[in-house]
Amino acid sequence: MNKYALSWIIRIVIAALFIVSAVAKLYPSPYFAISTFEVKQLYPLGFSEHIAPYFSRFLIGIEFALGILFLLPVKIRKVITPVSILLLAVFTIHLSYETFKTGGNAGNCGCFGSLLPMTPIEAIIKNIVAIGLLVGLLKLKIMETDKTKIWFLSTITLASILGLFMLAPIRPIEIPINSNDNVEINLLNIETNDTLFNANTKIDIDKEDVLNTKETEPKSDETKEVIKEVIDEPKASKSGFAKFYPDIDNGKKILCFFAPGCDHCQDTAKELTAMRKKDKNFPDVKIIFMNEEAYKIPEFFEIAQATYPYKIIEIIPFWNELGNERNTPGVMYLWNGNKIKIFDGIDANQFDGNTLEKMVKQPYSKIK
């Protein structure tokens, strides 16, 4: 195989890598996928909610542009290939640092969005192989006779970036919460500093603080003995969700974070319905829906075999409320505003009906 044919094979492979990476970050829908990428990948890096929407579209646009340019008969040695190597090197250094810091290889790096989940180690290997191919492409030293047309490269790049802004326009932060009871809350004026418990974190509260006591006087005048009634439940706290449901911090509640079109969310809701039918004292179930495919909510409740109170909030606020590192379906067991148990995603911490069913029947002092 001559050098010219080999160089085009490498160019096609690299082009496919960048284009697939860009397209995957738009799956299953552009705004949802980009917003999720911002919350789960850019926010942890320190990007603010104002900068992240612009950077995400710029980055994906650059990936598209590089993929297209590698397929076109243009000079790639001076600009395109070095920029590609630099981009992949930055990604690799970041992934290596995160893997070293967390001491593990869990989770999705986000390189191919949710379309092709990839662990950080897998992504590092993929990037190193790509960098090796690009370095090999430079060493082939293919003669490039065409003049570099800066205006052409700039046009392709700019068009790719602008295309992302058109495909997934940036929505204003000030977006109301939709509700089935026509309640609107302005997210711009909502602030919460509540932090979700880690799913594996045990709640460490002194038993003296947990066991509230109240004194009752017997009606009989024959005795003045004071009877102390022990209430085995957590002290009142603020969950941070009262802006959605004013009574959420009173007693036991199940708060769910669902996407209307999510099969796993639908199955979880159906399982909760079955649990409520078995136990008349099962806590009230309330739902916060992500504003993605909201038109599927009626179908969602048909599958769940019950209708529950719900609110609809935009994608980024939804992830902020659930937790940036969590995934749907999210189910929280709240008791007097305390986050007793949180299930999320479809992996190790996925919803477990048996665990929840036992937990809601236990006194607080018995919950581990």
Which is more confident, 178 or 44?
Answer: 44
Scanning 176-279, the segments in alpha helix (DSSP H) are 207-210, 263-278
Kindly give the pairing relationship between strand 330-335 and strand 252-258.
antiparallel
Q: What pLDDT is attached to residue 105?
A: 66
237-366 carries CATH number 3.40.30.10:
yes
The answer to which of 78-82, 115-119, 162-166, 212-216 has the lowest mean pLDDT is: 212-216
Name 362's Cβ contacts closer than 8 Å, sequence gap at least 6.
Answer: none
Q: What is the DSSP string of 353-368?
A: HHHHHHHHHS-GGG--
User: Looking at the chain, which residues constitute the CATH 3.40.30.10 domain(s)?
Assistant: 237-366
* 139: three-class secondary structure by DSSP: helix
Name 332's Cβ contacts closer than 8 Å, sequence gap at least 6.
Answer: 254, 255, 256, 257, 339, 341, 342, 343
Rounded CA gap, 296 and 301, in Å? 9
Q: Is the pLDDT of residue 114 over 80?
A: no
Q: What pLDDT is attached to residue 103?
A: 67
Q: Is the pLDDT of residue 19 over 90?
A: yes
pLDDT band with cut points at 50, 70 and 90 for residue 95? confident
Name which of 303, 221, 206, 234 is nearest 264 in CA terms. 303
Q: What pLDDT is attached to residue 212?
A: 43
Name which of 282, 338, 280, 291 is nearest 314 in CA terms. 291
pTM over 0.85: no
Per cent of the chain over pLDDT 90 is 57
Q: Is the pLDDT of residue 263 over 60?
A: yes
Question: What is the average pLDDT across 244-252?
Answer: 95
pLDDT band with cut points at 50, 70 and 90 for residue 204? very low
Q: Is the pLDDT of residue 221 over 60?
A: no
> Would you put residue 195 in left (φ > 0), alpha (ψ -120 to 50) or beta?
beta
Q: What pLDDT is attached to residue 176?
A: 38
Q: Is the pLDDT of residue 28 over 90?
A: no
Question: What is the average pLDDT across 306-328?
Answer: 93
The continuous run of DSSP H or E covering 311 comes out as strand 310-313
Cis peptide preceding 329, ω within 30 of 0: yes
Instruction: Please say whether the beta carbons of 271 and 351 come within 8 A.
Output: yes
Name 288's Cβ contacts closer than 8 Å, sequence gap at least 6.
Answer: 241, 244, 255, 256, 257, 258, 310, 311, 312, 313, 318, 321
Which is more confident, 147 or 117?
Answer: 117
Query: Across all residues in the chain, what is the average pLDDT?
Result: 82
